[in-house]
Structure 1
Amino acid sequence: MELNKKVDEMKKELIKATQEVVRIKSTLDEEKPGMPFGEGPAKALEKALEIAAELGFHTYKEEEGYYGYAEYGEGEDYVAVLGHMDVVPEGDNWIYPPYGAEIHEDKIFGRGTLDDKGATMAALFGLKAIKDLKMPLSKKVRVIFGTNEETGSSEMHVYNKKEKAPVSGFTPDAMYPLINAEKGIRRFHVVKKLTSCNCGIAIKSLKGGIRPNMVPDKCETVISIKNTEDMVKAVKEFADKKGYNMKTEIVNGDVVLHTFGVGAHGSMPELGKNAVMQTFDFLGTIAKGSCPLADYINFFNKYVGFETEGTSLGIACEDKPSGKLSLNVGVAEINEETADLWLDMRYPVTKKGEEIMDTLSKKFAECGAKIERVEADEPLYFAEDSELVKTLLKVYNDETGQEGKAYGIGGGTYAKELPNIIGFGPIFPGKPDLDHQANEYIEIGDLVMNAKIYAHAIYELAK
């Protein structure tokens, strides 16, 4: 096959280009003129555009530095490949330098090799193969270089205001064979003012979790009570009975309760052990009577507890493309004046988020709480019989020899940021998902295979 042969001929150039962009530390930093997300993302964007220009593509950089792209072909309509040049911080425990792009055992190590720099370079070189072979296209092709995917995708808000939408395309920000359904997400606070509480205890503070999309693995509660020894004993007996990991200490006359759970991603809360809800489980045994705090705690114990599908709240639902609704209590903050839980809900693609939120609002009102500060992320769904899904799956199946099928996820990819875009690669089935992990790498064989798949995918969409 001519395309595959041409990609093989460019293998060394593809590796070199990937190394060049990976060597740039492009984490979010202080805004500067022409650098809305700091020097790192700006430098990575410049390097990507430089590589694209050297390959003979027309390039464009948005005037304020939000994004850029490489373009090939003619026509008003265009097919897009949406990649990003920013990365998450490297973290610790790397075997090789996180920005060294070193090659060991036929793997390129470095932050961004998978997510998304290496995969975006693979798409760019796939387009280069089409260009060199002078294969006829009926649409333009645009490889977009984003700069803020990891921390909000605000560059795509600018893109969508300034640019025409693509007619089709994909993002190498997912997994193979293909992700055709991404659940809708609602993140919101459930807040209640605490006045005239007299339920036998006083919670000076309760803090657990760091982000709504993570199952909290720790929760610390400062409890003011006269008989501290009885409280310490009660905690131990309760923890032993329930099998919870709870520790206490006396600090300035107060009992400080430390609860330890097991963290997990908010899209799969059933895999974790929620330290906040374990704490609520205990507090429910000592928060007696009817007062704002006791009502709030007992409500969540009754209607949420350790359920992760919203059954008792009356919002449980599922569909074939994306599965069941998930619900995670991700962050908790309670003081003597306010109780505030921050929840992450992911709902099936064929359901309506506003209807679910209306049900929740009425339910939470039963304990005097209100939903505040709602963050909405709408679902993405392409039917299995859509042309985009069928075309990309056929390319995947033809190039790998595997019978791949589309599937849905609870998380979100870059595909949600641009119309008519779907998640396609770069991670192959059975290979580790090293996105955001220490020792992120891409196998050179997989990098080249991605370039071949993307070359055929671009051609099929734009021919």
Structure 2
Amino acid sequence: MNINEKIDQLKENLISSTQELVKMKSVEEEAKEGMPYGEGVAMTLNRALEICENLGFKTKNLDGYIGYAEYGQGDDYVAVLGHLDVVPEGEGWMYPPYSAEIHDGKMFGRGTLDDKGPIVAALYGLKAIKDLNLPLSKRVRIIFGTNEETGSLEMPHYLEKEKPPISGFTPDAEYPIIYGEKGYTQFNVVKDLNVKGTGDIIIKSIKGGQRANMVPDYCEAVVSAKNPDAVVKAAEEFKNKNGYDIKAEVKDNMVVIKSVGLCVHGSVPQQGKNAIMQLFKFLGELPIDKCDVVDYINFFNKYVGLEVYGKSFGVGLEDKESGKLSFTVGTISTNEDKASMELNLRYPVTFKYEDMITPFNKRLEGTGIRVENMDHQAPLFFPADHPLIKSLQKVYTEQTGQEAKLLAIGGGTYAKELPNIVGFGPIFPGKPDLDHQANEYIEIDDLILNAKIYGHAIYELAK
């Protein structure tokens, strides 16, 4: 009997184990003793480890932060890293989000695709290897993370307690193989507004955007104006001329200027419309006397504007593996004393952080604008001929009959949290990405195929 035949035998158990975990609400809640991410997450981790023990695996729970099942012998180990926590269920479900009901060959529920179904598929892939007593030269761990959706804060705890794997994958991405993830930065660009506005139009505040890694779909400015109707008229003319969704209205002796854009993920800003920068462009055309907030606006109009690749800013990096740097203006908040904009820059995989931040800082020289709250993740990149990549390509092609193309993405996956692993499934090419959406589901046939692919991948890496 081979791995695929054994997984077909285990099919009903694989389905029921997935349903068990999907039925448990594992959204992060207030921490309790021994439950760093709340009771629901802790109960789900405990149940997952019980399932592993019932399948004959050794298990370990690391203080409620994270746990794993282990099989085999050897100094080194291969890891499959998935997560049990989920985002809140939201509204608009056809079937209860924690019922794991099966309809028309699909299991519906929060976590079916992201990421309970796939990590259970990997577990049963390893179960097939164990039941067939296939020879391995390395240990294998199925690692159950618990905080991927809200920061992956469990991973430093894991690496404090355990050495990293020598290879592996996370079933928390897409197929065929994600061999590159751009470098990630998120930070504020701040300016103190010491020179105040005077004259006929004074900017009182600007506020817009939700998060740094989202192209903002709304931004508004509040200005005082001696001739409010002139500002309202200017907004209407600007809209007609440029096609941007800008309008102004008089409210409480102030003029409120509203800009509406199109929100998309910060890794693909070219697909959206940035409400903040639309508003900046309009404000830059108003006859406002020179002051610090106007200098701030004019700087970003000149060096960013509606660009999304950082060329005018001097950070227009590009490589053949992952394409162009993405430059997203995510949020803005100004008052009479300070302006702060939150940026999300993702730089190509073959570059270093210094290649981006050095020219970025050079552009700020002499402006009074400073960088604060820098959050950085280095790129993840494996050469196309790396043994891990070649092994996963071989398995994917053998099991699907499809070419195992390599993907480099602007987003980040769970693979960045643990050395020596890449994103590998579970979403097949052409299938919808339902992560975080209402009516999230996994097709039963895809769940089984994932288990087969993961079983072969584990064996290929650990044999």
- Compute the TM-score of the two structures, normalised by the length of structure 1: 0.98
Q: 1:404 to 1:199 in 2, by over 3 A?
A: farther
Q: 1:409 to 1:315 in 2, by over 3 A?
A: same
The residue type paired with residue 449 of structure 1 is: L
State the match for 1:190 in structure 2.
189
State the match for 1:210 in structure 2.
210
SS of the equivalent of 2:70 reads strand
Contact 1:126 / 1:454 at 8 angstroms: preserved in 2? Answer: yes
State the match for 2:364 in structure 1.
364
1:52, distance to aligned residue in structure 2 (A): 0.5
2: CA distance between counterparts of 1:354 and 1:41? 38
1: CA distance between counterparts of 2:38 and 2:362? 43
2: CA distance between counterparts of 1:329 and 1:55? 49
State the match for 1:113 in structure 2.
112
Q: Give the alignment of 1:227-238 within 5 angstroms.
A: 227-238=227-238
2: CA distance between counterparts of 1:221 and 1:295? 16
State the match for 1:241 in structure 2.
241
1: CA distance between counterparts of 2:356 and 2:165? 31
SS of the equivalent of 1:280 reads helix
SS of the equivalent of 1:267 reads coil
Q: Give the alignment of 1:121-270 within 5 angstroms.
A: 121-198=120-197, 200=199, 201-270=201-270
Aligned residues: 462
My pick for the range that moved more, 289-298 or 197-206, is 197-206
1:399 aligns with 2:399: yes
2: CA distance between counterparts of 1:113 and 1:198? 54
State the match for 1:68 in structure 2.
67
State the match for 1:78 in structure 2.
77
The residue type paired with residue 460 of structure 2 is: E
The residue type paired with residue 414 of structure 1 is: Y
1:162, distance to aligned residue in structure 2 (A): 1.0
1:289, distance to aligned residue in structure 2 (A): 4.4
- Runs of 5+ in structure 2 lacking a partner? none
1: CA distance between counterparts of 2:195 and 2:61? 59
State the match for 2:460 in structure 1.
460
Contact 1:199 / 1:293 at 8 angstroms: preserved in 2? Answer: no
The residue type paired with residue 283 of structure 1 is: L
Contact 2:238 / 2:246 at 8 angstroms: preserved in 1? Answer: no
Contact 1:90 / 1:438 at 8 angstroms: preserved in 2? Answer: yes
Runs of 4+ that moved beyond 3 A = 287-290
Contact 2:231 / 2:248 at 8 angstroms: preserved in 1? Answer: no
Q: 1:287 to 1:419 in 2, by over 3 A?
A: farther
Instruction: Give deviations 1:363-422, integer Å, cap 9, x for gaps.
Output: 123432111110101110011100000000100000001111111000000000001011
Q: Percent identity?
A: 60
SS of the equivalent of 1:435 reads coil
1:196, distance to aligned residue in structure 2 (A): 2.2
1:375 aligns with 2:380: no
The residue type paired with residue 6 of structure 2 is: K
2: CA distance between counterparts of 1:259 and 1:434? 29
2: CA distance between counterparts of 1:30 and 1:249? 42
Contact 1:68 / 1:145 at 8 angstroms: preserved in 2? Answer: yes
1:288, distance to aligned residue in structure 2 (A): 3.7
1:287, distance to aligned residue in structure 2 (A): 5.1
1:354, distance to aligned residue in structure 2 (A): 2.3
My pick for the range that moved more, 41-50 or 127-136, is 41-50
1:249, distance to aligned residue in structure 2 (A): 2.4
State the match for 1:58 in structure 2.
58
2: CA distance between counterparts of 1:202 and 1:60? 61
Q: 1:306 to 1:366 in 2, by over 3 A?
A: farther
2: CA distance between counterparts of 1:6 and 1:144? 22
SS of the equivalent of 1:192 reads strand
Q: Give the alignment of 1:442-453 within 5 angstroms.
A: 442-453=442-453
Contact 1:199 / 1:294 at 8 angstroms: preserved in 2? Answer: no
SS of the equivalent of 1:88 reads coil
Instruction: Give deviations 1:411-441, integer Å, cap 9, x for gaps.
Output: 0000000010110000000000111111110
SS of the equivalent of 2:156 reads helix
1: CA distance between counterparts of 2:408 and 2:308? 18
Contact 2:352 / 2:378 at 8 angstroms: preserved in 1? Answer: no
Q: Give the alignment of 1:25-40 within 5 angstroms.
A: 25-40=25-40
1:286, distance to aligned residue in structure 2 (A): 1.4
State the match for 1:49 in structure 2.
49
1:325, distance to aligned residue in structure 2 (A): 0.4
Q: 1:155 to 1:347 in 2, by over 3 A?
A: same
1:266, distance to aligned residue in structure 2 (A): 0.2
1: CA distance between counterparts of 2:289 and 2:355? 33
2: CA distance between counterparts of 1:234 and 1:405? 51
State the match for 1:97 in structure 2.
96
1:97, distance to aligned residue in structure 2 (A): 0.9
SS of the equivalent of 1:35 reads coil
1: CA distance between counterparts of 2:288 and 2:230? 16
State the match for 1:419 in structure 2.
419
2: CA distance between counterparts of 1:285 and 1:253? 22
State the match for 1:2 in structure 2.
2
1:297 aligns with 2:297: yes
2: CA distance between counterparts of 1:151 and 1:229? 46
How large is the RMSD of aligned CA atoms in angstroms? 1.0
2: CA distance between counterparts of 1:278 and 1:185? 25
2: CA distance between counterparts of 1:372 and 1:320? 31
State the match for 2:436 in structure 1.
436
Contact 1:199 / 1:287 at 8 angstroms: preserved in 2? Answer: no
Instruction: Give deviations 1:37-69, integer Å, cap 9, x for gaps.
Output: 11121111111101101101001101x200000
Contact 2:78 / 2:458 at 8 angstroms: preserved in 1? Answer: yes
1:291, distance to aligned residue in structure 2 (A): 2.1
